[in-house]
Amino acid sequence: MNKKILLSLLFTFGLCFTSCSDYLEVNPATGFTQAEVFGSESEIHSAVAGIYTLMLSDDVYSNRLAFVFNPNTDVEMSGISTNAVNVNGSDIACFQPKPYWTTLNSTWNAMYKIINLSNDVIEGIENSAIYKADPKDKASNITQMYGEAKTLRAMVYLDMIRIWGDVVFRTKSSVGGEDFTVGVTDRNKILEFLIDDLKSVEPLMQYPNQLDFGTERASKSFNQGLIGLLALTRGGWALRPDTSAATVGHMVRGENPELYYDIAIKYLGKVIDEKHYDLKLSYSDFWKQQNNWVTPVDDDVMFSLALLKGTSGEYGYSIGVPITGQVIQPGSSAPVTNPYGGASGSLSLCGTYLYSFDKKDLRRDVTCAPYSYDVNLNQVIRLDLAKLATGKWSKLYEEKPLGAVSTKSTGVNFAWMRFSDVLLMYAEAVNERVGPREDAQECLRRVRRRAFDKTDWSAKVDTYVASKNTKESFFNAIMDERAWEFGGESKRKFDLARWNKYSSVIYNQYNKLINWGKVANGAYVQGVDNIPGSVYWKNIPDPKNAGRTILDIQGIDQILTAKPAGYTEQVFASAWYSLNSDTSTYEPRNDIKWSFRGFINFNNAASVTPNDPLRYLCPYPSKVITDHRGNIQNYYGFNY
pLDDT tens-digit series, residues 169-228: 999 976 544 456 789 999 999 999 999 999 999 999 999 999 999 999 999 999 999 999
Q: Using CA atoms, how far apart are residues 502 and 493, in angstroms rounded to an integer?
A: 7
Each residue's pLDDT tens digit, 34-60: 766 899 999 999 999 999 999 999 999
Nearest to 51 by CA among 191, 146, 159, 187: 146
Each residue's pLDDT tens digit, 117-126: 999 999 999 9
Which one-letter amino acid corresponds to residue 319? I
φ and ψ at residue 550, rounded to 5 degrees: -120, 175
Q: Which CATH number is associated with domain 4-250?
A: 1.25.40.390
Q: Using CA atoms, how far apart are residues 315 and 66, in angstroms rounded to an integer?
A: 8
pLDDT at 371 over 90: yes
List, in order, residues 6 or more apart from 607 with CB less than 8 Å away. Answer: none
The Cβ of residue 359 has, within 10 Å, a number of other Cβ atoms equal to 10
Domain spans of the chain, in order of start:
4-250, 504-607
Nearest to 309 by CA among 387, 219, 407, 227: 407
Beta-strand runs (E) in 141-248 = 237-240
Identify the band that residue 580 occupies on the pLDDT scale cut at 50, 70 and 90: confident
Each residue's pLDDT tens digit, 183-199: 999 999 999 999 999 99
Chain centroid offset of residue 86 CA: 23
Q: Which residues pair with residue 550 across a beta bridge?
A: 540
Identify the band that residue 339 occupies on the pLDDT scale cut at 50, 70 and 90: very high
Q: Which residues pair with residue 379 across a beta bridge?
A: 373
Burial of 374 (0-12, 13-18, 19+ CB in 10 A): middle
Which one-letter amino acid corresponds to residue 438? E
Q: What is the pLDDT of residue 141?
A: 97
Each residue's pLDDT tens digit, 619-629: 999 999 998 88
List, in order, residues 6 or more apart from 105 with CB less than 8 Å away. Answer: 621, 622, 623, 624
Q: Using CA atoms, how far apart are residues 535 and 563, in angstroms rounded to an integer?
A: 8
DSSP character at residue 76? B
Q: What is the pLDDT of residue 266?
A: 98
Per residue, the 3-state secondary structure of 226-285, as one string, reads HHHHHHHHHHCEEEECCCCCCCCCEEEECCCHHHHHHHHHHHHHHHHHHCCCCCCCCHHH
- Low-confidence winner among 132-141, 267-276, 496-505, 629-638 (lowest mean pLDDT): 629-638
The predicted model gives 457-475 an average pLDDT of 98
Q: What is the pLDDT of residue 329?
A: 80
Angle at the Cα of 277 from the Cα atoms of 275 and 280, rounded to 5 degrees: 120
List, in order, residues 6 or more apart from 310 with CB less than 8 Å away. Answer: 402, 409, 411
Share of the chain above pLDDT 90, in %: 85
Each residue's pLDDT tens digit, 75-113: 999 999 999 998 888 899 999 999 999 999 999 999 999
DSSP character at residue 562? S
Is residue 85 within 8 A of residue 99, CB to CB? The reply is no
Q: Using CA atoms, how far apart are residues 628 and 423, in angstroms rounded to an integer?
A: 41
The predicted model gives 522-549 an average pLDDT of 96
Q: Which residues pair with residue 185 across a beta bridge?
A: 167
Q: What is the pLDDT of residue 180?
A: 62
Q: Using CA atoms, how far apart are residues 357 and 529, in angstroms rounded to an integer?
A: 17
pLDDT at 11 over 60: no
Long-range pairs of 600-606 with CB within 8 A, sequence gap ≥ 24? 600/506, 600/507, 600/510, 601/83, 601/510, 602/83, 603/83, 605/510, 605/511
Burial 380-404 (b: 16+ CB within 10 A, else e): ebbbbbbbbbbbbbbbbbbeeebeb
Q: Which residues pair with residue 237 across a beta bridge?
A: 253
Mean pLDDT in the chain?
92
Is residue 316 within 8 A of residue 287, CB to CB? The reply is no
The predicted model gives 343-368 an average pLDDT of 97
Q: What is the pLDDT of residue 33?
A: 59
Q: What is the pLDDT of residue 416?
A: 98
pLDDT at 8 over 70: no
Q: Using CA atoms, how far apart are residues 183 and 191, in angstroms rounded to an integer?
A: 17
